[in-house]
Amino acid sequence: MPESEIKVCQKCGARFIIEPEDFDFYKKVKVPPPTWCPECRLIRRLIFRNEKSFYKRTCDKCGKPIISVFPPDCGHIVYCSSCWWSDDWDGLDYGVDFDPQKPFLTQLHELLHRVPMMNLFGLYNTLINSDYTNMVTYLKDCYMVTTTDHGENLLYGCSIQDNSRDSVDNLMNSKIELCYELINCEQCYRTFFSIDCSRCRNVYFSKNCRECNDCFGCCDLRSKQYYFFNKPCSKEEYQKLLGDYDLSSYSKVEAVKERSREHWLKFPVKYIHGNHNVNSNGEYIYNSKNVLDSFIMDGAKDCRFCSFANFFPGNLSDTYDLTNYGINSSRLCETLQSGNGVDRAFYSWWVVTNSSEIEYSFFLTNCHNIFGSVGLKKKQYCILNKQYTKEKYEILRKQIMEQMDALPYTDKKGRINKYGEFFPTEMSPFAYNIGSAQEYFPLTKQQAIEQGYSWRDPEPRNYPIDIKAEDLPDNIKDVPDDIVGKVIECANAPAEISGENSDGQASQCTQAFRIIPQELSFYKRMNLPLPRLCPNCRHYQRLKQRNPLKLWKRQCMCSGSTSSPQGRTCEGQTLTGCYHNTCEHEHGDSPCDETFLTSYSPERPEIVYCEKCYLREVA
């Protein structure tokens, strides 16, 4: 077995380690080890992923107006879903000969600009009245939702699965109904402003509660009913308190949000969101085995540096550096948005449906033995969209791999792209700030340009504002029906326009928004106030409450009978042991010496426990 090797990232200059088991994987799939560190590799893939930015343009084949994730001025040919999936065109018609005198990735980039792209990603023959959606299947009456499957009447959400319905403004949930502002919840009904809850009903402003009904502002409860900020009360007392808070008022909801978050900080958190795992680390990992340094995974095995493969049962295996999808697939490396029975796909974007032996390719379905091609369906032994015999394909493939090492593509920052690296970021049709990278690794315009990324300035909007956010009625009961269609100025817009907002994520503010009819109907039905932020800003507010795609090595904060404060603050005061353990732990009165990798950074205020200490406190 080879020894560990320390590398210096070609992108950021940081040191990273390639472990013996990593070398084993690269040897098994016959690819070279990476020259970029794991985080830079993830960012590079995310730059090619635009989940939520939509543009109006026309189909370059039929001329019909369409919605697309590809901006009209990106320089690419874009077809509507019907035209792209039709048999009226063939990717082989765009085939070209390999030029040994020109870097291969340059030739591939040129081909990418000639072959049609699909306007959106997903199975659009499974959608009913759900045009403004992306990376979705089987939706009905949904609007502005992404990476979502099997849903009905969902508005402004992301990563919602398993027959969810009638819910607004949610992130990473499954089987929810009549819910609002949930993050990482499952099987919840009429649950609002809550995080990490499961099988709850009529729950408000709560965190990490299981099988609870009629709870408000609670944390870490199990099978409880009529609890108010973790204190039991009678049904009559609970209903009176709930009425006193009047959640139809925007100002009162905002005050309860703040109080709830302060209350949650009094309780320990487990170092990882996850369960039913074996030998795994990362964040939001479930039902997985030997999954390391990965994020938002479900049902995976023997994977590392992967993310957003959370379609349980996913059955992703033997894979490094996959981002998004991966269902029933194996032996993928440095691949984006690929899955559904794919085997051995490397350095590619959107390879799906029983494809195999794919390298450096875009937008393939049911293909085999393809190198450096774009937009092919049911093809094999193709290079640069040109058909070859098996024997000639294998000879030319080897020649190109050798040429990629001898004559590599060099990007505008001088970084070398030989065989074994994902596409250079310059090949992405998306600017940094409209791709998914900005959501998880936000940069300012200046920072992005300094690092060699492109940036898309927002188009001048100059919306005729009908009403400012600050002038909206505080209570939903006072909102007239004619609010529908009016242009509302986002509460973040003044700071965004003036440049005073220093939050790098704020660059996605649309500055104005409208309330649509089904949205107003939901707010009135659920007795909830109107939002003051545009949908993009609301999405970024939810992202801030989900743990980041980073890991830090830390020690359990359990100090015996209490938590170790480490400079924590709670309700504005420095803590000297905010949480007192409810029972004796295995390490007694001595501090727990357990260490772990966690997405809770050291400067965060949460009390972070190892799994053993956490389970002693929270059943």
CA distances from 401 to 92, 104, 333, 471 (A): 22, 9, 16, 62
Per the model's pLDDT, the better-predicted residue between 179 and 561 turns out to be 179
- H or E stretch including 260? helix 250-264
Distance separating alpha carbons of residues 522 and 538, to the nearest angstrom = 17
* CA neighbor of 342 nearest in space, from 320, 312, 364, 313: 364
Average pLDDT over residues 158-177: 96
DSSP state of 188: E
* CA neighbor of 131 nearest in space, from 179, 194, 66, 37: 66
Average pLDDT over residues 229-257: 96
pLDDT for 171: 97
Distance separating alpha carbons of residues 273 and 294, to the nearest angstrom = 12
pLDDT for 430: 96
User: What does DSSP say about strands 127-128 and 300-304: parallel, antiparallel, or unpaired?
Assistant: unpaired
**Would the pLDDT of 571 be above 60?**
no
**Would the pLDDT of 328 be above 60?**
yes
Average pLDDT over residues 569-588: 72
Q: At 499, is the pLDDT very low, low, confident or very high (cuts 50, 70, 90)?
A: low
Per the model's pLDDT, the better-predicted residue between 497 and 456 turns out to be 456
pLDDT for 562: 77
pLDDT one-digit tens code per residue, 527-550: 999 999 999 999 999 999 999 999
Average pLDDT over residues 280-296: 97
Average pLDDT over residues 237-251: 95
**Would the pLDDT of 30 be above 50?**
yes
Distance separating alpha carbons of residues 254 and 469, to the nearest angstrom = 14
**Percent over 70 (pLDDT), the chain:** 95
The H helix count followed by the E strand count for the chain is 13, 41
15 and 5 Cβ atoms separated by less than 8 Å: no
Q: At 561, is the pLDDT very low, low, confident or very high (cuts 50, 70, 90)?
A: confident
Q: At 555, is the pLDDT very low, low, confident or very high (cuts 50, 70, 90)?
A: very high
Angle between the N-to-C axes of helices 390-406 and 104-112, in degrees from 0 to 180, rounded to the nearest 10: 110
pLDDT for 578: 72
Mean pLDDT across the chain: 93
pLDDT one-digit tens code per residue, 462-474: 889 999 999 999 9
pLDDT for 570: 52
Q: At 87, is the pLDDT very low, low, confident or very high (cuts 50, 70, 90)?
A: very high
- 10 Å CB burial of residue 191 (0-12, 13-18, 19+) is buried
Q: At 504, is the pLDDT very low, low, confident or very high (cuts 50, 70, 90)?
A: very low
Q: At 279, is the pLDDT very low, low, confident or very high (cuts 50, 70, 90)?
A: very high
The 3-state secondary structure of 432-462, one letter per residue: HHHCCHHHHCCCCHHHHHHCCCCCCCCCCCC
pLDDT for 579: 85
**Percent over 90 (pLDDT), the chain:** 88
**Would the pLDDT of 236 be above 90?**
yes
Average pLDDT over residues 122-133: 90
Average pLDDT over residues 161-186: 97
**Would the pLDDT of 149 be above 80?**
yes
Contacts made by residues 329-338, CB under 8 angstroms, sequence distance 24+: 331/28, 331/29, 333/25, 333/26, 333/29, 333/31, 334/34, 334/41, 334/45, 334/421, 334/422, 336/45, 336/48, 336/49, 336/422, 337/49, 337/121, 337/135
Distance separating alpha carbons of residues 333 and 358, to the nearest angstrom = 10
pLDDT for 490: 95
pLDDT for 461: 77
**Would the pLDDT of 48 be above 80?**
yes
* CA neighbor of 513 nearest in space, from 281, 169, 211: 169
Q: At 3, is the pLDDT very low, low, confident or very high (cuts 50, 70, 90)?
A: confident
Average pLDDT over residues 387-399: 98
pLDDT for 566: 58
